[in-house]
Amino acid sequence: MGLFRRKPEPFLSATPGASTYPASPGGPRPATSGVVPSSAPAVPAPADALFSMPVEDVFTITGRGTVVTGRVATGTLAVGDRVSVVRAGSVLTMTEVTGIEAFRSRRTTASAGDAVGVLLKGVGRDDVQRGDELRGSGA
């Protein structure tokens, strides 16, 4: 019963280039951490990308209007911007953004990666559904 008396082996060796793998027929393999080197160039998002957000859910707020939620895929959105609701590649309607909210706080803008709720002017609950896409007016 010596299972718990075994000396723990370090996950990564403190010595650079030392092997943390058992000996293999082809010789020792160098230790790797699986981390991308900091010298690797990051792929920046295009600054001029048009706004795009897939619709995850749709709500109606009495007295306010229709809110669509989702995560901004590309571009930025601001209150007052014109957006189009797109389904299967065809534009259903054009509307104006009258509010943006993220985690119960009002915002004036949303950018790529933000999970937001977008209040749309003049759009009914039945006009938008999950799977539709909001796109910037240039789309």
**What is the rounded distance in angstroms from the CA atom of residue 23 to the CA atom of residue 30?**
11
At 101 the pLDDT is 95
CA distance 26 to 50: 51
Per-10-residue mean pLDDT, the chain, length 139: 56 53 56 56 62 96 93 95 94 95 94 95 93 84
Question: Which residues make Cβ contacts (< 8 Å) with residue 72, sequence separation at least 6?
Answer: 51, 52, 53, 110, 111, 112, 113, 114, 116
Domains of the chain by range and CATH? 52-136 (2.40.30.10)
- pTM beyond cutoff 0.85: no
CB 125 within 8 A of CB 60: yes
Residue 139: per-residue pLDDT: 45
Can you give the pLDDT at residue 26? 58
